[in-house]
Amino acid sequence: MDVGFTRLKIAVFVDGCFWHSCPDHATWPRDNGEWWRQKLLTNVARDRDTDQVLRDSGWEVIRIWEHELPEDAAERVGDVVCRRRGSDGTVPPAT
């Protein structure tokens, strides 16, 4: 987790396009190609597993690609924070 809003149970990850196999920008190295392929696929599988573990524990997971505009990413995070806080702006009690 790169940023955590622990009281709101929001986990934010900023994923690199290469290391996390961005659907728009992923590249597959030619040298030692099979090793890299397995490494990168393992990273993606671990990301999905981490997402599921967090969601099963009541967390909301936000994944931001490194190529996303910071303003867009901040807006997405802000929207989730506002929704999780509720209409009165308070943080719900810990569970």
- Residue 23 domain-assigned (yes or no): yes
Residue 76 lies in a domain: yes
- Does 7 reside within a domain? no
Q: Is residue 91 part of a domain?
A: no
CA angle 17, 22, 26 (to 5 degrees): 75
Answer yes or no: is 8 within a domain: no
What SS3 class is residue 64?
strand
CATH of the domain at 21: 3.40.960.10
Per-residue pLDDT tens digits for 56-85: 999 999 999 999 999 999 999 999 999 999
Q: Is 95 a domain residue? A: no
The pTM of this model reads 0.85
